[in-house]
DNA sequence: ATCATTTTTAATAATAATTATTAATTTATA
DNA sequence: TATAAATTAATAATTATTATTAAAAATGAT
């Protein structure tokens, strides 16, 4: 997802474009490692020491609300994903790293619809050990 | 999963069988609605007013650790599932209820294994609106 | 460019879920 | 029954996240 697209969508919905939001967007949109609010905050603080953690939460939550980001809820905390294309995640139980995977194809029509009226979304998490951790352990 | 099986496994692993653990097991194992630690605590308190929330957390976490229960991490908190057979979950975005679904069949072999060394587990969450909420809204 | 309106920010307090601590009690076993 | 080890209840501590609010900044109209 591109920054300009996000900026336009925000503006279009009445959000104001502040420097803080741009800093956060810049960092978030180019991240590959599914950052938490705090990790974005810590990185940004190096260059913008007055940025506030609330502002980071506020911006990330807004992006999720308007469909420009995804929240990943794991055991310990919330991670954010700027990739809104359908895809699933692999979580390494050793190092905690979250990897993007191809979308897992699921036949939603085969689901028992006894309880379901409408489907909006789908999350697939696969847990295991990543190759990196296997190699390290093998040493 | 049956209580005796759980008791045996606990004992076999060196855990002691306390009345509190039995109360929690009794309530948890017959629950269908994926309770949180707090909801189990609140229910138990009616009959066992001296039970402690810590004890409930302790027991539920132990059950998860030894593979007799599953934790479901949603936005707000952790829910527990005594059903350890493979299955997926439908979460109603309106009422928050969690429904059990048949296991979604996923071809794990088709996964890009660039990052994956071993797979231990799989969580599938489907989000949407349940029939109950649709009916209520329609009134 | 300035003004008026609305939103956002930073700082911090508050909340909520969960875990840690610990003295007293209980379980399991010899 | 005595002993060692684990568990309990109570509560403090921790951690992630949200709420509050006065001051500052962004937008849009004049």
DSSP state for residue A36 in the 8-state scheme: B
Q: Which fold has domain A3-81?
A: Arc Repressor Mutant, subunit A (1.10.10)
Q: What is the per-residue pLDDT across A17-36, written as a single tens digit (0 to 9) for each?
A: 999 999 999 999 999 999 99
Closest residue in A to B122 (Cα–Cα):
A126
Select from B52, A73, B20 the least CA-distant residue to B28: B20
Mutation for B interface: A122, A133, A135, A136, most B CBs within 10 A: A122
Q: What pLDDT sits at residue A137? A: 61
Secondary structure (3-state) at B122: strand
As a rounded value in angstroms, the CA-to-C1' distance for A23 and C13 is 26
pLDDT tens per residue, range A89-99: 999 999 999 99
- The H or E element spanning position A103 is none
Rounded to an integer, the average pLDDT of A128-137 is 86
Q: Where are the alpha helices (DSSP H) in B15-123?
A: 19-29, 37-47, 53-65
Q: In the CATH scheme, what is the code of domain A88-138?
A: 3.30.1490.190
B18-74 pLDDT, tens digit each: 999 999 999 999 999 999 999 999 999 999 999 999 999 999 999 999 999 999 999
C-alpha count within 13 angstroms, C-beta hemisphere, residue B50: 2
What pLDDT, on a 0 to 100 scale, did the predictor assign at position A108? 77
Domain boundaries defined on chain B: 3-81, 88-138
Residue A100 pLDDT? 94
pLDDT digits (tens, 9 = 90+) for B105-131: 887 777 767 899 999 999 999 999 999
């Amino acid at each position: 997802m591109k920054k300009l697209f996000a900026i336009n969508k925000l503006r279009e919905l009445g959000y104001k474009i502040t420097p803080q939001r741009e800093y956060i967007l810049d960092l978030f949109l180019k991240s590959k490692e599914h950052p938490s609010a705090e990790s974005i905050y810590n990185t940004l603080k190096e260059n913008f020491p007055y940025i506030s953690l609330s502002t980071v939460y506020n911006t990330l939550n807004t992006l999720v609300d308007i469909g420009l980001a995804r929240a990943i809820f794991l055991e310990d905390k919330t991670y954010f994903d700027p990739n809104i294309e359908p895809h699933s995640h692999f979580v390494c139980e050793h190092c905690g790293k979250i990897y993007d995977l191809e979308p897992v194809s699921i036949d939603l029509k085969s689901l028992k619809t006894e309880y379901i009226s409408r489907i909006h979304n789908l999350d697939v998490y696969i847990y295991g050990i990543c190759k990196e951790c296997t190699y390290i352990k093998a040493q």
